[in-house]
Structure 1
Amino acid sequence: MASKDVREQHESAGAWAKRYYQTSQAVLESILRPHGLGPTQWYVLYQLAHDGPTRQRDLVRALRIERATMTGVVAALVRKGLVEQTPDPGDLRQKTLRLTEAGGELWTRLPDPIARILAVAFDGVSEEEQAQVVRILRGATERLAHHLKEETAP
């Protein structure tokens, strides 16, 4: 009986959500690798290309990553000449990031890995079905976040 329970857990929505995430990350990495970028570096470039100059701490929040991780990602992007890091005029303790000219040029040449992933993953899936998947996963995520908040409240 235990093996059946384990088998069912491996076929659960949560297990498939995890597999989808892991596989989509692998595809994302394979698309970006020829351009010398990792996924987090791409997300930083995406934010800067779409939102313009941004405080580094705001990117930490937006991307939900550790500050130390962001420091390493930004250092790599600066070293590659894709991002410029300057003291924020409103608070010199903070850093503002912006795309360099080379970063902007690279951005215009990059394929959109998210569009590619979605096109392949949801090929033949109707818009209604895709919207249903989003509703289900959003609701499940919100319920879990609420549960976690209640469990960790003092």
Structure 2
Amino acid sequence: MERLLRPYDLGSTQWMVLFHLVQDGAMPQRDFIELLKVEKPTLSDIVSALVRKGFIDQSPDPSNKRQRVLSLTEQGRQLWERLPNPIVVMRDIAFDGVDEQTLDLIAEVLQTATERLEHHNFGDRET
């Protein structure tokens, strides 16, 4: 993923921020902590880089001036239109020649495994 995005001066987490802003529109910055599974300082660095590059705007939340809302800039929108979707590219490479029924089974298994890991309480057991 990093190699696909490098020519566009983006990392994978930066791409995910752009993806969510394109799909969902302007969003509170705090929502990205859970979406991206990152710590607040890491998110601040990611947002700062995207603002510096001119791809997103960061403005005060009208309902809470201490919070920030992120939105895509016109430059960010233009970049998005040129970007390859790295997830689609990687999927196409990884599963080239695999039939649709097998792909459906793979997706189901991976989704179930991910949900189990996300909902598992690792603190209940000794490792």
Structure-2-length-normalised TM-score:
0.90
Higher relative contact order (CA 8 A, sep 6+): 2
SS at match of 1:111: coil
Query: Where does the alignment leave 5 or more consecutive residues of structure 1 unmatched?
Result: 1-27
What's the CA shift for 1:118? 0.6
2:41 counterpart of 1:62: no
Q: What is the number of residues matched between the two proteins?
A: 125
Query: In 2, distance between residues paired with 1:147 and 1:61?
Result: 16
Q: 1:51 aligned to 24, 29, 46, which one?
A: 24
Query: In 1, distance between residues paired with 2:17 and 2:114?
Result: 24
Partner of 2:66: 93
Higher helix share: 1
Partner of 1:130: 103
| Identity fraction in percent | 47
Partner of 1:114: 87
2:113 counterpart of 1:140: yes
Query: In 2, distance between residues paired with 1:38 and 1:59?
Result: 15
Instruction: Please list the CA deviations of residues 6-46 of structure 1 after superposition, one character each: whole Å capped at 9, or x if unmatched.
Output: xxxxxxxxxxxxxxxxxxxxxx1000000000000000011
Instruction: Please list the CA deviations of residues 112-153 of structure 1 after superposition, one character each: whole Å capped at 9, or x if unmatched.
Output: 11111111111011121111112222223333444426717x
Q: Cα RMSD between the aligned structures?
A: 1.6
Bigger Rg, which one: 1
Structure-1-length-normalised TM-score:
0.75
